[in-house]
């Protein structure tokens, strides 16, 4: 983990209440897709955890949704302003757990943390199918970016305004069932349905309200089949069989 100052390069609305934040700074602690950073936002005692979509040696990109006061203040910040950020938090997805064809299932903002994972899987030579679920077309993010990476992309929207009308599980049921491993990230109810519908091994990225964000306060503890675990430090990614929904 590293605490450092980042300068905002871009902070732009890209979907309904969703912003793309491009930050310049030291990303040396970022190692795996699915890791997150913890942003200090002026006026708030607790930092706000946000997953990284991707990064290079001197910049990173986050996608965030305005859901409350902290993210609202963040959405009003301008290029040139600075943010104090803890980087390199959490374990991230384990790309090497996949030995064959990968299925990556994301809901809403969950499309962001899975992006670097998909890039890693494709670089390792795996076939990757990505299923992205949104409430509506206006919520859709990153579909074209996933296609440009080289993944096979399927979309589900609840109102049918893009792709299949329905849930990600409806899309999964329509695919040939030849996957070896799955990864999922998004709303808890969606990830539970995905885990229950697939009889292959996989992993899911959990979320919880966080205090310290780095393993000290135990505020994010959840019960797993392997005992109590801190989502920030032992996760946020857990194997399917460890998760008690």
Instruction: Summarize as ranges the residues that interact with ligand FAD (CB under 6 A).
Output: 36, 48-51, 63-65, 67-71, 90, 109, 112-113, 207-210, 236
Tokens 């430090």 correspond to 233
What contacts 70, CB < 8 A, 6 or more positions away? 41, 44, 48
Q: Should residue 51 be labelled a site residue for ligand FES when binding is judged by CB under 6 A?
A: no
Both structure tokens of 199 = 């009889």
* Per-residue DSSP letter, 52: E
Binding mask 199-238 for ligand FES (x = CB under 6 A): -----------xxxx-xxxxxx---------x-xx-----
Q: How far is the CB of 64 from ligand FAD (least distance, A)?
A: 4
The minimum distance between CB 188 and ligand FES, in angstroms, equals: 17
Contact flags string 154-193 toward ligand FES, x per CB under 6 A: ----------------------------------------
What is the Cα–Cα distance from 70 to 50, expressed in whole angstroms? 12
Q: Which is nearer to ligand FAD, 126 or 224 (CB)?
A: 224
Give me 44's structure tokens. 């708030």
Q: How far apart are CA 108 and CA 167, in angstroms?
A: 12
Whichever of 20 and 48 has its CB closer to ligand FES, that residue is 48
Q: 178 exposed, middle or buried (CB, 10 Å; 0-12, 13-18, 19+)?
A: exposed
CA distance 160 to 163: 7
Count other C-beta atoms under 10 Å from residue 17's C-beta. 14
Partner from ligand FAD, ligand FES, none contacting 202, C-beta within 5 to 8 A by type: none
Residue 50 interacting with ligand FES (CB under 6 A): no
Which residue lies nearer to ligand FES by CB, 139 or 234?
234
Query: What percent of the chain is helix, strand and coil (3-state, nearest 5)?
Result: 20, 35, 40
Residue 41 vs 233, nearer CB to ligand FES: 233
User: Which residues are at the interface with ligand FES (CB under 6 A)?
Assistant: 210-213, 215-220, 230, 232-233
């Amino acid at each position: 983990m590293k605490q450092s100052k980042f300068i905002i390069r871009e902070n732009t609305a890209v979907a309904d209440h969703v912003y793309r934040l491009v930050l310049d700074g030291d990303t040396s602690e970022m190692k795996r897709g699915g890791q997150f950073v913890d942003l200090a936002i002026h006026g708030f005692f607790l930092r706000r955890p946000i997953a990284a979509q991707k990064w290079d040696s001197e910049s990173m990109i986050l996608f965030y949704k305005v859901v409350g006061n902290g993210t609202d203040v963040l959405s009003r910040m301008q290029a040139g302003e600075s943010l104090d950020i803890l980087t390199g938090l959490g374990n991230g997805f384990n790309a090497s757990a996949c030995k064959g064809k990968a299925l990556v299932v994301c809901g809403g903002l969950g499309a962001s943390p899975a992006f670097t994972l998909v890039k890693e899987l494709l670089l390792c030579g795996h076939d990757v199918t990505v299923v992205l679920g949104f409430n509506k077309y206006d919520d859709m993010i990153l579909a074209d970016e996933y296609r440009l990476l080289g993944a096979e992309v399927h979309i589900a929207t609840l109102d049918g305004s893009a792709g299949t009308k329905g849930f990600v599980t409806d899309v999964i049921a329509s695919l040939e069932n030849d996957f070896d491993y799955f990864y999922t990230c998004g709303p808890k109810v969606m990830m539970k349905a995905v885990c229950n519908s697939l009889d292959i091994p996989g992993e899911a990225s959990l979320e919880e309200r966080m205090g310290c964000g780095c393993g000290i306060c135990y505020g994010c503890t959840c019960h797993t089949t392997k005992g109590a675990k801190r989502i920030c430090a032992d996760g946020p990614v857990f194997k399917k069989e460890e998760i008690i929904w």
